[in-house]
Amino acid sequence: MSGYVSIALILVIALLAVGGLYLVAQYTAVASDPIEQLPFLSGWEPQEHALSRYHARWYPLTLLFLAFDVEMLFMYPWAVIVARDGMGAVVEMFVFLGVLMVGVIWAWREGALQWV
């Protein structure tokens, strides 16, 4: 348990460090308050807010990633017990990974890895 207390400690230190730096900058900066400005647009004014429904063309890739990423949930516990459980655990895990990899190759052939 003491490990997690240490982590909490270092989190507190991190927040204090960031906060402290802001305090220092309040004093050292030429003005303590931030200045509000238009976003930089090569020297022009924005015609609309940039916050918008951004067109992420690599969207199919995120789905592929999600499928594989959920699998990592099993990978970590597996790593701990694989030595104890022996070849059976290796075969099971890599057959599973192999199936996922087939999915990746299929998605690749469908063009999910190219978006420009």
Q: According to CB under 8 A, which residues from 29 to 88 bind another protein?
A: 29-31, 33-58, 61-62, 64-65, 68-69, 72, 75-76, 79-80, 82-84, 86-87
> Judged by CB under 8 A, does residue 102 bind another protein?
no
> Judged by CB under 8 A, does residue 99 bind another protein?
no
* CA torsion angle 33 39 43 46 (round to 10): -140
User: Considering only residues 5-34, where is the footprint of another protein by CB under 8 A?
Assistant: 5-7, 9-11, 13-15, 17-18, 21-22, 24-25, 27-31, 33-34
The answer to whether 71 and 103 have CB atoms below 8 angstroms apart is: no
**What is the spatial distance between Cα 99 and Cα 93, in angstroms, rounded to a whole number?**
10
| Shortest Å distance, C-beta 83 to another protein | 5
> Judged by CB under 8 A, does residue 105 bind another protein?
yes
How many Å separate Cα 103 from the centre of its chain?
A: 22
Counting Cα atoms < 13 Å in the Cβ hemisphere of 93 gives: 19
